[in-house]
Structure 1
Amino acid sequence: MAVIKTNEKDVKVLARLMRAEAEGDGQLGMLMVGNVGVNRVKARCLDFKDINTINRMVFQSPGGFEATQKGYFYQRAREKEIRLARKSISGGEHNHPASYALWFFMPEGSCPEQWYGQWNTGRFKSHCFFTPTNADCPSVFETF
């Protein structure tokens, strides 16, 4: 069962985003990017109040993903990433430190304690993840 409403096109867009943002971090890294994407669609808070589809989440401007500005993102989705995207959409993949994260980025050095006022929940390989508080964004912590 999906935790957000999607169609096949959405699955493929999320799969392309996951690969473009985190292929170098392996399958778990890509699943974490998927966690963040699904969380943004669920959130209805902070910078994501009007983000209610995968497509709007991926192409949000400002605040979207740098990968959408690169040609690699626009390559066809592969089966491996499509399976990972479906796992993320199903809600069955909550991988710390991205479980409830709404943001991530790849710093040149160590992860800052906060990023845009959100707390660092940890690092996985090259990416640092940042999660809002329950008070700022309770919907991200809801289970469906």
Structure 2
Amino acid sequence: MAGKVRANTKEIRLLARLMRAEAEEDGEMGMLMVGNVGVNRVIAECLDFEDIRTIKEMIFQSPGGFEAVQQPYFYQRARDREIRLARRAVRGERHDPASYALWFYRPPAECPPQWFNQRLSGRYKSHCFYVPRPQECPAVY
């Protein structure tokens, strides 16, 4: 199964906080999908993520990181539920449309078919997910 990354307890808690801050309103599945995107960025070795090797680097990447890290909610302690979800994402559990996604965002209306030249893989509740072409990022696939 592709998608596994090494992570210590501190990194799992960081990922849990990111998942909650970005997608709590989309429930457990929405948070898992944010975790999928994060894990994919760590393993991608392509595009904007060539130099990203750890969960911490992925979360705090600048530019190109997550807006949630600029919000106070991100800095609250991780809860057990999100920690369990983060562990599942790190172990490689994937869910469509985020299975191979490197990006997501919350559009004001419909999901555009492309976002920054990346193709739409689908929508889950409030987020649209976007994937690279397999030849651009083979490690994700």
| TM-score category (smaller protein) | over 0.9
The CA distance in 2 between the partners of 1:121 and 1:3, in whole Å, is: 21
> RMSD between aligned alpha carbons?
1.1
Which residue matches 2:20?
Answer: 19
Deviation, structure 1 residue 94: 1.1
Which residue matches 2:10?
Answer: 9
The CA distance in 2 between the partners of 1:122 and 1:65, in whole Å, is: 20
Which residue matches 1:60?
Answer: 61
Deviation, structure 1 residue 60: 0.3
Which residue matches 2:122?
Answer: 122
For 1:16, give the aligned amino acid.
R
Matches for 1:79-98 after TM superposition, within 5 Å: 79-91=80-92, 93-98=93-98
The CA distance in 2 between the partners of 1:140 and 1:117, in whole Å, is: 17
The CA distance in 2 between the partners of 1:94 and 1:67, in whole Å, is: 22
Identity of aligned residues (%): 63
Residue deviations 1:50-107, cap 9 Å, x none? 000000000000000000000000000000000000000000x211000000000000
Which residue matches 1:111?
Answer: 111
After TM superposition, what 4+ stretches of structure 1 lie above 3 angstroms from structure 2? none
2:140 maps to 1:140: yes
TM-score (norm 1): 0.95
The CA distance in 2 between the partners of 1:115 and 1:8, in whole Å, is: 33
TM-score (norm 2): 0.97
For 1:95, give the aligned amino acid.
H
Deviation, structure 1 residue 17: 0.1
Residue deviations 1:104-133, cap 9 Å, x none? 000001001111111000000000000001
Which residue matches 2:74?
Answer: 73
The CA distance in 2 between the partners of 1:101 and 1:94, in whole Å, is: 10
Deviation, structure 1 residue 3: 1.1
2:45 maps to 1:44: yes
The CA distance in 1 between the partners of 2:32 and 2:18, in whole Å, is: 11
For structure 2, which runs of at least 5 residues remain unmatched after alignment? none
For 1:18, give the aligned amino acid.
M
